[in-house]
């Protein structure tokens, strides 16, 4: 049964460890590819082990955001994005989507009410064979400015030394913003009422060759109803999946894709720094969720929502996290697909084929 949600005055270290799992995989790969993890110090496997729950990973599942449910639908571009990017996905029209609503953390059986962070993975395909993949969460900013800082946070939050986190926070006060958000932000009653943010910065290239630093969000069109901690504690362990399944069976759910354009001088390499609220935003189209499918047999199961899979007209920026996430997701993908027999499909012939 779900327990009461934590109060704003209580946020035990075990919750810090869970938050660590939310974003930890990003630090793994970037540190590895940058050469910071020497054979005599740390390895990606050791780093991943630090993110694993005490009982070990859930075989066959993603190493983070392990609990999730698939959806299919479409993205209807309204043409407004073409002023920022030549990407085909912004040309007016409808493009098929395979997505996955999820919860941060390594446990595919965790209770929905207790998840501090919600996420979504989205793959949009265009007729020319290109894809735009992204993985977003509901946090408005990231937990750490660099992979090195995040690793230090992970070690501190998992330490038995009661002063370890205090020491980390003293050296990295930006973590307190994320902790305050994680323990105090309101939880809506549905994935369909949750705003999802890219956090990382990317570059859009327009027809003139000009580049625009951007971040983006999927903003729900459904009215947002927030739950009190007492209401949240009464919800069932799988209430988010049950809710989205029922909603979509009744009618499609919609999200506006809103692109935020940076001003000169806005930080693009530090995802802990949110851009000012007055930055230019462009609504470039609408995501429509049309069908919900269980992950075991669903089309999202074998998709790696690698944020560096981008169409022509969109590239990574000086933000190091997308490259880090790409490598970490690849490692997670390899591990879970090798364990596929431990996460059996329930319908014969349902395998859709791995998508890198």
Tokens of 293: 């499918």
Q: How far is CA 341 from the centre of its chain?
A: 26
pLDDT number for residue 37: 43
pLDDT number for residue 1: 37
> d(Cα 22, Cα 54) in Å, to the nearest integer?
16
Torsion of CA 194, 324, 201, 268, to 10 degrees: 130
Say whether 335 sits in a helix, a strand or coil.
helix
Tokens of 247: 């909603």
pLDDT number for residue 321: 82
- Do residues 218 and 122 touch, judged by C-beta distance below 8 A? yes
Interval 30-87: pLDDT, tens? 444 444 444 444 455 655 666 667 688 899 999 889 999 999 999 999 999 999 999 9
> d(Cα 240, Cα 191) in Å, to the nearest integer?
7
Burial of residue 181 (number of CB atoms within 10 Å: 0-12, 13-18, 19+): middle
Say whether 133 sits in a helix, a strand or coil.
strand
Interval 94-113: pLDDT, tens? 999 999 999 998 899 999 99
- Do residues 99 and 289 touch, judged by C-beta distance below 8 A? yes
Q: State the Rg of the chain over Cα.
A: 20
> d(Cα 253, Cα 249) in Å, to the nearest integer?
10
- Which backbone phi and psi does 331 adopt, to 5 degrees? -65, -45
- The kind and range of the H/E element at 198 are none
pLDDT number for residue 151: 75
pLDDT number for residue 105: 87
Name the DSSP letter for residue 209: S
Q: Show the low-confidence residues of the chain (pLDDT under 50).
A: 1-42, 349-356
- Do residues 131 and 221 touch, judged by C-beta distance below 8 A? no
- Do residues 261 and 267 touch, judged by C-beta distance below 8 A? no
pLDDT number for residue 6: 36
Closest CA to 135 of 333, 344, 346: 333
> d(Cα 122, Cα 54) in Å, to the nearest integer?
30
Burial of residue 102 (number of CB atoms within 10 Å: 0-12, 13-18, 19+): buried
Burial of residue 285 (number of CB atoms within 10 Å: 0-12, 13-18, 19+): buried
């Amino acid at each position: 049964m779900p327990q009461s949600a934590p109060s704003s005055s209580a946020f035990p270290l075990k919750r810090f460890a869970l938050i660590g799992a939310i974003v930890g995989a990003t630090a793994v790969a970037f540190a590895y590819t940058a050469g910071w993890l020497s054979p005599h110090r740390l390895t990606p496997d050791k780093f991943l082990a630090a993110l694993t729950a005490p009982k070990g990973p859930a075989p066959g599942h993603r190493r983070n955001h392990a609990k999730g449910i698939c959806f299919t639908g479409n993205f209807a571009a309204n043409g407004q994005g073409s002023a920022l990017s030549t990407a085909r996905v912004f040309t007016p029209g409808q493009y098929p989507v395979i997505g996955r609503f999820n919860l941060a953390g390594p446990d595919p059986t965790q209770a929905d009410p207790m998840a501090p962070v919600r996420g979504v993975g989205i793959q949009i395909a265009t007729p020319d064979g290109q894809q735009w993949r992204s993985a977003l969460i509901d946090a408005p900013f990231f937990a750490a400015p660099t992979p090195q800082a995040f690793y230090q946070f992970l070690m501190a939050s998992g330490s038995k030394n009661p002063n370890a986190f205090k020491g980390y926070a003293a050296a990295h006060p930006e973590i307190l913003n994320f902790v305050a958000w994680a323990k105090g932000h309101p939880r809506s009653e549905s994935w369909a009422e949750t705003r999802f943010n890219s956090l990382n910065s990317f570059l859009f290239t327009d027809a003139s060759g000009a580049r625009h630093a951007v971040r983006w969000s999927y903003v729900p069109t459904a009215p947002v109803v927030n739950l009190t901690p007492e209401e949240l504690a009464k919800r069932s362990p799988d209430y988010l999946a049950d809710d989205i399944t029922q909603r979509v069976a009744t009618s499609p759910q919609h999200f506006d894709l809103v692109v935020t354009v940076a001003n000169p001088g806005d930080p693009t390499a530090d995802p802990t720094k949110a851009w000012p609220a007055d930055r230019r935003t462009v609504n470039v189209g609408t995501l429509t969720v049309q069908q919900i499918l269980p992950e075991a047999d669903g089309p999202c199961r074998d998709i790696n929502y690698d944020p560096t899979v981008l169409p022509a007209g969109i590239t990574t920026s000086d933000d190091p996290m997308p490259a880090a996430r790409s490598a970490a997701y690849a490692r997670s993908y390899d591990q879970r697909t090798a364990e596929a027999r431990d996460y059996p499909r329930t319908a014969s012939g349902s395998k859709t084929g791995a998508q890198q």
